Chains A and B, each alone.
Chain A
Amino acid sequence: MSRTKIHVATTVNGDAVEFLCEPPQTLLDVLRDELHLTGSKEGCASGDCGACSVTLDGRLVCACLVLAVETTGHSVETIEGMADGDNLHPLQQKFLEHAALQCGVCTPGFLVAAKALLDVEADPSETQVRYWLAGNLCRCTGYDKIVRAVLDAAAEMRAN
């Protein structure tokens, strides 16, 4: 098995980054193990749980389904880039206010996915939120408070 590493130059949360990776390594492996951005979680490594949700050139993807080498020249956004300095994103704030997390391990993925929704639909219905987030598993909350937090954040963002 060849373990010759490949050099990759990409952009993560607005910063130019370079890393070496083995060809089979996923974007999630590199984010977590090479760049130490551990906010993206591995729940399944098969694209079924959404805990590693990130955006690639603005498109919502599971980082576990993207090869790290594929990010060459592209732009990755992770949970670590969501807050604006000291200011939480309205979604982050609403998750806290609505108690929309219990253990919190799925939370980064939900936030990244919800932000991707609000980027394309500023006024989603409850049904739209539920289907958009159907790729993110949460075992703790029963989703109620997550959906409320997203709807409330959308309303606040529309008002401002």
Chain B
Amino acid sequence: MSDSAKNDSGSNGHKYVGTRQVRPDGVDKVTGRASFGADLHVPNMLIGKVLRSPHAHARILSIDTSKAEALAGVKAVVTRDDINDLPSEMVPAGEMMVNYRDITRNVMAREKVLYEGHAVAAVAAVSESVGLEALSLIDVAYEVLPHVIDVMDSMKPDAPLLHDGMITQGVEPAPEKPSNVAKRVEFAIGDVDAGFADADVIVEREFKTKPVHQAYIEPHACLASVAKDGKAELWCTTQGHFVVRGHCARLLGMDISKLRVTASEIGGGFGGKTVVYLEPVALALSRKSGQPVKMTMTREEVFRATGPTSGAHMRIKIGAKKDGRITAADGLFHYQAGAFPGSPVQLGCMCAFAPYDLENARTVGYDVVVNRPKVAAYRAPGAPIAEYGAECVIDELAKKLGMDPIELRLKNAAKEGTQTVYGPKLGVVGLVETLEAAKAHDHYKAPLGKHQGRGVASGYWFNIGGESCATLNMSEDGGVHLVVGTPDIGGSRASLCLMAAEELGIDLDKVHPHIADTASLGYTFLTGGSRATFASGMAVVEAARDVIDKMRERVAKMWDIPVDAVIWEDGHARPASSNAGAFEPMSLAEITAMANKTGGPLVGNAAINAQGAGPSFGTHIVDVEVDTETGHVEILRYTAIQDAGRAVSPGYVEGQLQGGAVQGIGWALNEEYVYGEDGKLQNAGFLDYRIPVCSDVPMIDTVIVEVPNPTHRFGVRGVGETPIVPPMAAITNAIEQAIGIRFNELPMSPPKVLAAIDASRGPLADAAE
């Protein structure tokens, strides 16, 4: 439980903001009533299934669907011919950009299949078993091509090319020959060479990470229904149904306004449900069959054809004076994008050294395509990879300098006014506060035993704002229907209701949240970038102020005094002072009950483009014990500390910290995509792609630091992404302390740890143990 939020009263004089409340959608979710992506059934519904490439890289010579179409019970078959070919055009999807030319090829392969699992055709049939039989009747003729899986192999001059004619962007002069390098990015401040010349100690290391999947428990699922007049409805599990609407309409050549998308409850996303896979295919099948079509992915399809985040290869070099002042930092990053350009390498370059106030820094990144599924955003996309390398080097630097790693970080910590490598100066941030909290925590002073070690790392993520609408529909009984457009992925309904109740001054149980479909609310960007509580929260506050002003106007009319003479306080309209007149305060319920007599329905609206998102810093402490017989690394104790700005709903902020930490533990110790020489994924299931289970981890202690974001009414920063940034380096640093071996590759799985221990032991070491 958080040290900062043990009581049930709100923080900073708030009645609700900062309290622990049962979430409004909670009962539905503990009783099985909540409806997730695969839970909808409609009359006359068909089942859609996807035929996927068995090859890592092949040219499609022909697709013959005639036998499948002839099978009884098959109502439609679609291929590349049923999805629009689109020119190159970049559009936002979460923190990452996507290219329509690529999306259309990713949802249905056109010229080539670019990874094992790439969609080639799809069928809609009266049952799943008929659909599966139909898939087996589709004949695809392939010309198999050489493939490339590893990022460094893919950059070699003789590597097989995924995209004919792809010229590296960001290089001057532009290369004449095509390659698998989609883009080079560079950020720099100061003079890195001079900084290293000034350094007393320099540490330079190379690191490798493997792709890891978001591994949300709910597979992708949707249900599409297209009417004969072209109007269409889509139900799907997504982090952003307005984004899905835009993508699907474009891919199918529909008017955006003819497609209404409803977001189901979403069973986890972590960035992976910000793009479309099945949705356009289901719409195409429904359009062709004239019947509703439901599609769900198997877990195997989720692993082979969606996400993951990049694997990477990087080199990090940091120099410092003897007193610990960092003089220069340099990073070179190669990120796998998967089959299409668009890894989060640019974000990695921006975040790599963000926890430090540096005069001289440079980051260079390469976005590299390989024959793997196209990467999707995963929780602070790009940052955990780059910051893992940087935070390992910082730890090694501290050891060389003989400094405590928290002291080294404090000496160089980013703070208000710090010049970032990517442009702006930081506003008010709370890194120092998290480091001080870590230093003061009893965890940091607890004794350690044999083969046990403690590691620390910090992490940074920007957080974003963006388009959000909110509507507050006032009922005649004083209830408030709060309508927003950001799917609730981890308890945001609760936070938004708390903010609405606080601002309106009414009881929390009067506020009823609803996630509107795309026809029922103005455009709202997706839940991602840790923006839902920040940006939709900002819209909710604005909508509350809008309806408060309207209620003040109604009351001013009734009292026959100027509106300025009516104030809103504790959920009541009151005279501003005794000079305004002697009127009994009117409650919100009284005002809304009379709405039809005072001017009609009362509704509060806000349509904003939220600005001023507050970056979030975190610092994690972890204790490990290494079993030198098996190579198994046990997490003994874990403390995640983060600046939340203001924790509106502390229980769910703690949950974000705990969940992020445990995903990071998986990334550090076990999770990886394993490919064979044939370019095929070998562990496309939860048995072999092993995410942490309950018995793998201890309780995850949290400390919520609150350095309010000055641009938000309640001080909110996003919290969801930063917690996955520090764990990998913190665990690496802890293992080094435990057994004296510094790993530079993830995951640090038992076979690798054991091999390193064996290699470090002399032939007689076992006898000496």
Binding site for B on A (CB under 8 A): 1, 3, 22, 24, 32-33, 36-46, 48-49, 51, 78-80, 82-83, 88, 92, 95-99, 101-108, 111, 126-127, 129-131, 133-148
A-side contacts of B697, CB under 8 Å? 142-143
Q: Roughly how many angstroms separate A101 CA and B700 CA in the complex, as a whole number?
A: 15
Give the complex CA separation of A90 and B660 in angstroms.
Answer: 28
B638: nearest chain-A partner, CB-CB: A142
For A91, the closest partner residue in chain B by CB is: B30
A39 in contact with B33 (CB, 8 Å): yes
CB–CB B695/A134 < 8 A: yes
Given A88-B30, A92-B30, A139-B215: A102 and B691 interface contact (C-beta under 8 Å): no
Q: Which of B18-26, B156-164, B331-339, B706-714 contacts A (4 or more CB under 8 A)?
A: B18-26
CB pair B489–A103 under 8 Å, yes or no, is yes
Task: Supply 15 further A-B pairs (C-beta < 8 A) apart from A96-B30, A105-B216.
Answer: A32-B39, A39-B31, A82-B31, A96-B26, A98-B651, A99-B655, A102-B489, A102-B652, A103-B217, A105-B217, A139-B268, A140-B490, A141-B655, A144-B654, A148-B699
B686-699: CB near A (< 8 Å → 1, else 0) gives: 11000111111101
Pick the 8 closest A-B CB pairs, nearest first. A39-B32, A105-B267, A99-B651, A104-B29, A142-B662, A142-B658, A48-B686, A102-B490
Contact of A139 among B127, B659, B687 (CB under 8 A): B659
CB contact list, B365-412 vs A, under 8 A: none
Q: Could you tell me which residues of chain B, from 622 to 668, have a CB within 8 Å of some CB in chain A?
A: 651-652, 654-656, 658-663
Contact A99 B267, beta carbon cutoff 8 Å: no
Question: Chain B contacts of A101 at CB under 8 A?
Answer: 26, 29-30
Task: Report the bound CA distance from A49 to B217 in whole Å.
Answer: 8
The interface bits of chain B over 503-545 (1 if a CB of A lies within 8 angstroms of the residue's CB, else 0) are 0000000000000000000000000000000000000000000
Instruction: Give Cα distance in the complex from A13 to B395, angstroms.
Output: 56
> Do B694 and A1 have beta carbons less than 8 Å apart?
no
- B686 near A137 with CB under 8 A, answer yes
Contacts of A83 in B (CB 8 A): 31
Chain A residues, CB < 8 A from B31: 39, 79-80, 82-83, 88, 92
**B687: nearest residue on chain A (CB-CB)?**
A48
CB A100 to nearest CB in B, in angstroms, measures: 8
| Distance, CA A16 to CA B314, complexed state (A) | 61
- CB pair B217–A139 under 8 Å, yes or no, is yes
Chain A interface, DSSP helix/strand/loop, else mixed? loop
Q: Give the complex CA separation of A37 and B35 in angstroms.
A: 11
In the bound assembly, the distance between CA atoms of A111 and B661 in angstroms comes to: 23
Closest to A146 in B: B694
> For residue A47, which residue of chain B has the nearest CB?
B687
* A1 B129 Cβ-Cβ under 8 A: yes
Task: Identify the closest chain B residue to A108 (Cβ).
Answer: B32
Residues of B within 8 A of A143 (CB): 658, 662, 692-694, 697
CB contacts under 8 Å to A, within B34-74, are 34-36, 38-39, 41
Residue of A97, A111, A141, A144 contacting most chain B CB atoms (<10 Å)? A144
Instruction: Chain B residues near A80: list those with CB within 8 A.
Output: 31-32
Kindly identify, within residues 315 to 340 of chain B, every residue whose CB is under 8 Å from any CB belonging to chain A. none
Are B38 and A96 within 8 A (Cβ)? no
Give the shortest distance, in Å, between B528 (CB) and chain A (any CB).
14
B270 within 8 A of A: yes
Which residues in A have their C-beta under 8 angstroms from that of B217?
A: 41, 43, 49, 51, 103, 105-106, 137-139
Give A155 to B293 CA distance when docked, in angstroms. 47
Q: B71 CB to closest chain A CB, in angstroms?
A: 11
Q: Which residue of A lies closest to B686 (CB)?
A: A48
B562 to chain A, nearest CB (A): 46
Check B7 for interface membership: any CB of A closer than 8 A.
Answer: no
Given that A42-B296, A79-B32, A101-B30 are contacting pairs, would A142 and B659 also be in contact in the complex, using a CB cutoff of 8 Å? Answer: yes
Q: Flag if B651 contacts A103 (CB, 8 Å).
A: no
A44–B489 alpha-carbon span in the complex (Å) = 20
A-B pairs with beta carbons under 8 A, tally: 192
Enumerate 30 A-B pairs (CB-CB under 8 Å) in ascending A order: A24-B129, A41-B218, A45-B298, A46-B299, A49-B299, A79-B32, A80-B32, A92-B31, A101-B29, A102-B268, A102-B489, A102-B490, A103-B267, A103-B490, A104-B29, A104-B30, A104-B265, A105-B36, A135-B693, A136-B693, A136-B694, A138-B694, A139-B217, A140-B490, A140-B655, A141-B655, A142-B655, A142-B659, A142-B692, A143-B694
Q: Does B27 contact A (CB under 8 A)?
A: yes
Given A46-B686, A129-B694, do A40 and B655 touch, yes or no (CB 8 Å)? Answer: no
Closest B residue to A43 using CB positions: B217
Q: Does B571 contact A (CB under 8 A)?
A: no
Q: Is B153 positioned at the interface, with any CB of A under 8 Å from its CB?
A: no
* CB <8 Å contact, B32 and A105: no
Closest to B214 in A: A139
Q: Place the interface of chain B in its size category.
A: 35 or more
List residues of chain B with CB within 8 A of the CB of A130: 694-695
Bound together, the chains give a CA A50 to CA B661 distance in angstroms of: 22
Does residue B219 face the partner (Cβ distance < 8 Å to A)? yes
**Cα distance A135–B256 when bound, in Å?**
43
Q: How far is the CA of A103 from the CA of B215 in the complex (A)?
A: 13
Query: A36–B129 Cα gap in the complex (Å)?
Result: 19
Would you give the shortest CB distance from A41 to chain B, in whole angstroms? 7
Q: What B residues does A78 contact at CB under 8 A?
A: 32
Closest-by-CB residue of A relative to B216 is: A139
A143 to B267, alpha carbons, bound, how many Å? Answer: 16
How far is B693's CA from A136's CA once the two chains are assembled, in angstroms? 7
Query: Is B266's CB within 8 Å of the partner chain A?
Result: yes
Which of A3, A82, A88 touches B129 (beta carbons < 8 Å)?
A3
B685 on interface, CB distance cutoff 8 Å: yes
Known: A103-B216, A105-B267. A144 touches B298 (CB 8 A): no
A104 to B737, CA, bound (A): 38
Q: In the bound complex, what is the Cα–Cα distance between A58 and B217 (angstroms)?
A: 25
Q: Which of A24, A38, A142 touches B32 (beta carbons < 8 Å)?
A: A38
Contacts of A139 in B (CB 8 A): 214-217, 268, 270, 659, 663, 691
Please give the distance in Å from B423's CB to the nearest CB on chain A.
33
Is B491 located at the chain interface by the 8 A CB criterion?
yes
Contacting pair A145 B129 (CB below 8 A): no
**Interchain nearest-CB distance for A104 vs B (Å):** 3
Distance in angstroms from A147 CB to nearest chain B CB is 7
The answer to whether B219 and A104 touch across the interface, beta carbons within 8 angstroms, is no
Q: Which residues of A contact B38 (CB under 8 A)?
A: 32, 38, 41-42
Q: Contacts of B695 on A, CB cut-off 8 Å?
A: 127, 130-131, 133-134
The residue from B20, B39, B269, B661 contacting A142, defined by CB atoms under 8 A apart = B661
Q: Which residues of B contact A137 (CB under 8 A)?
A: 217, 686, 691, 693
Q: Is B133 in contact with chain A by the CB < 8 A criterion?
A: yes
Cβ contacts under 8 Å, A38 to chain B: 32, 35-36, 38-39
* Residue in A closest to B39 when the chains form the complex, CB atoms: A38
Question: Is A99's CB under 8 angstroms from B652's CB?
Answer: yes
A97 / chain B contacts, CB cutoff of 8 Å: 22
**Assembly CA distance A106 to B34 (angstroms):** 12
Q: Which residues of A contact B36 (CB under 8 A)?
A: 38, 41, 105
- Contacting pair A104 B298 (CB below 8 A): no
The answer for the CA separation of A138 and B659 in the assembled complex, in Å, is 9
Closest to B689 in A: A48
Contact with A along B118-149 (1 / 0, CB 8 A): 00000000010110010000000000000000
A21 to chain B, nearest CB (A): 11
- Docked pose: A126 CA to B695 CA in angstroms: 10
User: Which residue of A is nearest B660, CB measured?
Assistant: A142
What are the residues of chain B within 8 A of A44 when measuring CB–CB? 299, 685-686
Binary CB contact string for chain B from 198 to 231 against chain A (1 if under 8 A, 0 otherwise): 0000000000000000111111000000000000
Q: What distance in Å separates the Cβ of A96 from its nearest Cβ neighbour in chain B?
A: 4
Q: Which residues in A have their C-beta under 8 angstroms from that of B696?
A: 134
Most buried by A among B29, B35, B41, B696: B29
Cα distance, A143 to B700, chains bound together (Å) = 9
Cα A110 to Cα B4 in complex, Å, equals 29
* Residues on B with beta carbons closer than 8 Å to the beta carbon of A32: 38-39
Complex CA–CA separation, A135 to B691 (angstroms): 11
